[in-house]
Amino acid sequence: MIGDWVYVHEPECRGHQIDYICLMDEEVGADGELYSPDDLRPIPLTMELLERNGLYQLYTDFYDLDMFEFNDGLFRAVYSNCEFSDIPDQSVLISYVHELQHFLNHLLINKEIEL
């Protein structure tokens, strides 16, 4: 998805943010360069990254978002709507930064992730 953070080629390289996707030519653009989707690698989610971005516990007047380390490298994200009690909590398991970005997007939480 455009805006996703990924590694290009090897994890030793810094992360790149996807800014272009062309399905016909099977190209993905990141930071002004074009890559094959095979060159992309997911960025593992860490507790340090969650804390640095203020996502370990995010409480607002409208919702609560809690992240728990479920297993080594696997996190459970729990979203609770505080405005409407008839909306059930949502919970997903997340291992990678782009999965967290997709979940936040699904919840309409506009939070920029910084590596």
Read off the pLDDT of residues 50-100 as tens digits, 9 standing for 90 and up.
Answer: 999 988 887 788 889 999 988 888 999 999 988 877 778 889 999 999 999
Reduced to 3 states (helix: H, G, I; strand: E, B; else coil), residue 104 is helix
Asked if pLDDT for residue 12 goes beyond 70, the answer is no
Tokens of 96: 């990678």
Backbone angles phi, psi at 35, to 5 degrees: -135, 160
The label of the residue with tokens 């994890």 reads 11
Look over the chain and give the mean of its residue pLDDT values, rounded to a whole number: 87
> Contact at 8 Å (CB) between 68 and 47?
no
Q: Over the stretch 79-91, which tens digit does the pLDDT of each residue have? A: 998 887 777 888 9
Cα angle 76, 79, 82; round to 5: 155
Q: Do residues 24 and 35 make contact, with C-beta atoms less than 8 angstroms apart?
A: no
